[in-house]
Amino acid sequence: MRRLLPIVLVILVVITAGCEVKILFSDEYGFEDDRGRWEVWVDPAVSGYQNPWRLERDTRYARSGDYALKASFYKSLSERPYALWIEKPLEAFSYAQVQVVIKFALYTEDQSMFWDARAYVGTRAPANIQEFQRLDYPEGSRSWRVYEYETILELDQYGVIWVALGLNPEYHDDFTFYIDDISVEVKNIQI
């Protein structure tokens, strides 16, 4: 019986390695707990000026749960437009090839073709908004719009996936967005 145990374990490992296996993160991240523990960045870094972005949790426009993240840009506090993003590192497996899908919902009552929604997935934190994938322009339809970004990623020895979503201004104007229902799904696709 002891001789069969290693053979059975090897067979199970081979069967599991050949299948597509969902690993971490099929959760949705809301803003119920301290902005969802997302780190907030402004590009370029604000130095010598007040940060033109105001971030707060908001109950009025929550898509699900009790809170959404309200992100307001005030042009009176800035001489130029500044991009905003939120980011989070997620731990996975070292040297794995994974498929990452990030989805999030945006709401705005403002209509403008001068802001775009962006997403980022990588093995290191993004340095600037140009590293993000442009998804689309919010339409100001006074309803929630869901954005999705999917990519294949080769993980390094650290096995960390950085996910981020952002707003990129192409015009200097006041604007308010609400962000909610961020979901990240990671699948191990290495065979």
Neighbours of 129 (CB within 10 A): 23
Q: Is residue 16 part of a domain?
A: no
pLDDT at 126 over 90: yes
Which pLDDT score is estimated for 72?
Answer: 86
Residue 41: closest CA among 126, 115, 102: 126
Q: How far is Cα 68 from Cα 7, in angstroms, rounded to an integer?
A: 51
31: domain range?
A: 21-188
Stated pTM of the model: 0.78
Q: Establish if 105 belongs to a structural domain.
A: yes
Number of domains in the chain: 1
CATH number at residue 87: 2.60.120.200
Confidence of residue 21 (pLDDT cuts 50, 70, 90): very low
* Within a domain: 7: no
Mean pLDDT of 174-186: 87
Position 39 scores a pLDDT of 75
